[in-house]
Amino acid sequence: MERENSLLLEMLCFEQGHGRRTEHVLKVRGLALLLADAAGMPREQQEILGAAAILHDIGIRLCKEKYGDASQENQQKEAPAAAKAMLDATGYYPGQQERIQYLIRTHHCYDRVEGLDHQVLVEADLLVNGFESGWTKEEAARWKPVLQTAAGKRLFETFFEKA
């Protein structure tokens, strides 16, 4: 937990006070850990997931500065090096870093989810994105098939189908 909190502090400072991105990091991390715990994910895997949730959008600021936009292609180019620097600085091991970087690169790949940690990160980010965007029932319906965990499905129903 100490290492994850150090990483979280680094990421929040990296965002330089940008309100929406800072809040997004906190929401996705919190929701990912909630979904992971509800799914019975082992603590070691939750540690990797927590780091990936913290860093999942690390490429956005860099891409906006470098390219003027934060397309998924640009983020996939810029995120790994920035994530590696933070993971090195906070003591994550190479094997952990490899999985964390994979999760960061693929958290929008809804059609090829590999592993519970990947599924949970996809769901947490998707749910937070929908909540932040104020999806209507109709807009949300498009994304329902992505949800696979029991807790993710329950929150989806609560956030978007009962509204």
pTM of the complete model:
0.93
Q: What is the DSSP letter of 125?
A: H
CA distance 68 to 61: 10
Mind listing the pLDDT tens digit for each residue in 64-98? Answer: 888 888 777 778 888 888 999 999 999 999 999 99
pLDDT of residue 100: 95
Domains of the chain, residue spans: 2-161
Neighbours of 93 (CB within 10 A): 8
Tell me if 56 sits within 8 A of 104, measured CB to CB.
Answer: yes
The residue whose two tokens read 């929401």 is 27
CATH 1.10.3210.10 fits 2-161, yes or no: yes
List all residues 6 or more positions away from 155 whose beta carbon is below 8 Å from its beta carbon.
31, 35, 127
Q: Which among 138, 136, 141, 83 has a CA at the least distance from the CA of 107?
A: 83
pLDDT of residue 78: 83
Q: Which among 82, 36, 94 has a CA at the least distance from the CA of 55?
A: 82
pLDDT of residue 163: 55
Mind listing the pLDDT tens digit for each residue in 16-66? Answer: 888 899 999 999 999 999 999 999 999 999 999 999 999 999 988 888 888
